[in-house]
Amino acid sequence: MTSQADYKFSFGPWNIHEGADPFGPTVRDSVDFAAKIAVYKRLGFDGVQLHDDDAVADLEDKSWDEIQAEAKEMRRLLESEGLEAEFVAPRLWEDPRGIDGGLTANDPEVRRWGVERSKKAVDIAKLMGTDLVVLWLAREGTYIRESKSARVAYDRLVEAINTMLQHDPTIRIAIEPKPNEPMDQAYVPTIGHALALAERTCDPQRVGGLIETAHAQLAGLDPSDEMAFALGNDKLWSVHLNDQNGLKFDQDKSFGSANLRAAFNQVRVLEEARYFDTGRYIGLDVKAMRTQEASRATQHLANSKAVFEALVQKARTFPEQQAQQLIADRDYESLEMLVLSHLMGVA
Ligand code: 3MF
Ligand code: MG
Ligand code: MG
């Protein structure tokens, strides 16, 4: 067996959650932050993905001195567990001001707030020791198309990103695309949109992407192709591996649990690009099922990591020569059976 030491894994504390859904209340007690942090190493994770307010709670009510002190304290807490912050993401979508978007809102006051908050997230990222800021553009879209000008909204996104880039010349921004939810239509639905937008900014080299499996699937796309596209531009700066069973609500299922073959192809594309050599994390964005009792509500993380590692072995032992011959013969029926047999272990 090849060693798995070459991949590093991360997730955000929101992956350990209370199980609320739009139709019912929470079903598990909240786990406090320190207890969540203690789960990481036990399950073999080294990286912590953070919202700005995970790092510094209620940051908008705090002075710069307080923000600095709390971010440093959080960094110490992570370091004391042998962990590091992978990225910080400004959480614009929970604040009432961001109800119709923070960066693309029609109200200039709201946009000013959205940009200021995003600059604070940049500062917090640096204090936490990472140069990566993730923009999940949750409410940057519309419920009804006529409510905003898309043309203007794209300009505003570019402007906001430019302001963040200029605020700190050392940070990188990874846009996490998603086609819908919470909005009916999001402005940045795919990695193609994200990377085209990057080219319009003042420093395209510092704007890349984070691809979430389920977000690509919700857009009707193959996540491995989305990843390949970003990798080809050297712009896949993180991933949110998970899964999705068809076009329904955003499920954040465990990696490989609904589409094992698609999961295999994501791993293959990462292996082909030697992603493990980049020093970047394999991040998860997964939710435990609502039925899961509290004591077992981290199993989805362990399962996703185990499936990833098993698929790395499958990718590394794939009968490449046989596959190449079948490709040369254009014998895709046999190629398909080769893939399925390999995955089923019945080759
Ligand atoms: C969205 C994200 C996160 C969300 C998280 C909330 C960085 O796909 O990855 O933003 O905050 O998923 O549940
Ligand atoms: Mg999701
Ligand atoms: Mg995500």
- Write the pLDDT tens digit of every residue in 270-302: 999 999 999 999 999 999 999 999 999 999 999
Do 191 and 177 touch, CB atoms closer than 8 A?
Answer: yes
Q: State the pairing for strand pair 141-142/185-186.
A: antiparallel
CA of 249 to the centre of ligand 2 (A): 9
Task: Find the helix packing angle between 64-80 and 33-43, rounded to 10°.
Answer: 40
264 pLDDT tier (thresholds 50, 70, 90): very high
22 pLDDT tier (thresholds 50, 70, 90): very high
Return the closest-CA partner of residue 127 out of 176, 79, 198, 165.
79
Say whether the ipTM exceeds 0.90: yes
Q: Whose CA is nearest to atom 4 of ligand 1?
A: 136
| Atom number in ligand 1 closest to CA 138 | 1
User: Residue 2's pLDDT is what?
Assistant: 44
CA of 326 to the centre of ligand 1 (A): 41
3-state secondary structure of 7: coil
CA of 334 to the centre of ligand 2 (A): 34
In whole angstroms, how far apart are CA 105 and each of 81, 109, 139, 165, 173? Answer: 40, 9, 9, 20, 21
- Count helices and strands (H / E) in the chain: 12, 10
User: Residue 203's pLDDT is what?
Assistant: 98
- Write the pLDDT tens digit of every residue in 43-96: 999 999 999 999 999 999 999 999 999 999 999 999 999 999 999 999 999 999
State how far the Cα of 55 lies from the Cα of 69, in Å rounded to an integer: 11
State how far the Cα of 238 lies from the Cα of 227, in Å rounded to an integer: 10
Q: What is the mean pLDDT of the chain?
A: 97
| Atom number in ligand 1 closest to CA 287 | 13
347 pLDDT tier (thresholds 50, 70, 90): low
Cβ neighbours, 10 Å, residue 325: 14
**Ligand 1, pocket residues at CB < 6 Å:** 14, 89, 134, 136, 176, 212, 240, 285
Do 49 and 89 touch, CB atoms closer than 8 A?
Answer: yes
State how far the Cα of 184 lies from the Cα of 182, in Å rounded to an integer: 7
Query: Does residue 147 carry a pLDDT above 50?
Result: yes
Per-position DSSP letters for 109-154, written without gaps between them: HHHHHHHHHHHHHHHHHHHTT--EEEEE-TTSEESSGGGS-HHHHH
CA of 189 to the centre of ligand 1 (A): 15
- Write the pLDDT tens digit of every residue in 212-261: 999 999 999 999 999 999 999 999 999 999 999 999 999 999 999 999 99
Q: Whose CA is nearest to atom 1 of ligand 1?
A: 136
Residues 6+ apart with CB under 8 A from 325: none
Residue 144, Ramachandran bin (φ over 0: left; ψ between -120 and 50: alpha; else beta): beta
Helix (H) or strand (E) holding 232: helix 223-232
Q: Which residues are annotated as catalytic?
A: 51, 54
